[in-house]
Amino acid sequence: MKRIPSLVPGLFCCGLALSSATAAAQSAVDRVDALNARCEAAREARLAPIREQKIAQCEASPNKPEAGCRVFYSTYGDNSNHANGSVVRGQFYGLPECVAARKATRRMNNGQDF
């Protein structure tokens, strides 16, 4: 009977450990993605009526093209940039869904399980 070199079983075990660690990391990423999707859905629910109100106000103004108002306010409340390049945080990131997503992202990035 031929004997298997001791290096082969060790490599096999390392491969199994790496694959399970990769699966766990992917699972964490999937959970954070789901939390972020819930956050964005909650933000959109809050922002949609405000955007529609802004569009209606813009369209009621004289000399404003309807399409221009809709395009301009379609991203109202999202992250934007100052002229100096700094980021202006969007609205409604304080919702419970967004706070949970932010905490989960921090835990994942710090290597903690959640």
Domain boundaries defined on the chain: 28-79+86-106
Percent of the chain, pLDDT > 70?
A: 75
Retrieve residue 12's tokens: 């096999």
Q: What is the mean pLDDT of residues 26-33?
A: 88
User: Residue 15 is which amino acid?
Assistant: G
Main-chain dihedrals φ then ψ at residue 80, nearest 5 degrees: -145, 180
Selection from 105, 101, 114 nearest residue 24 by Cα: 114
For residue range 53-95, list pLDDT tens digits in order.
999 999 998 888 778 999 999 999 999 999 999 999 999 999 9
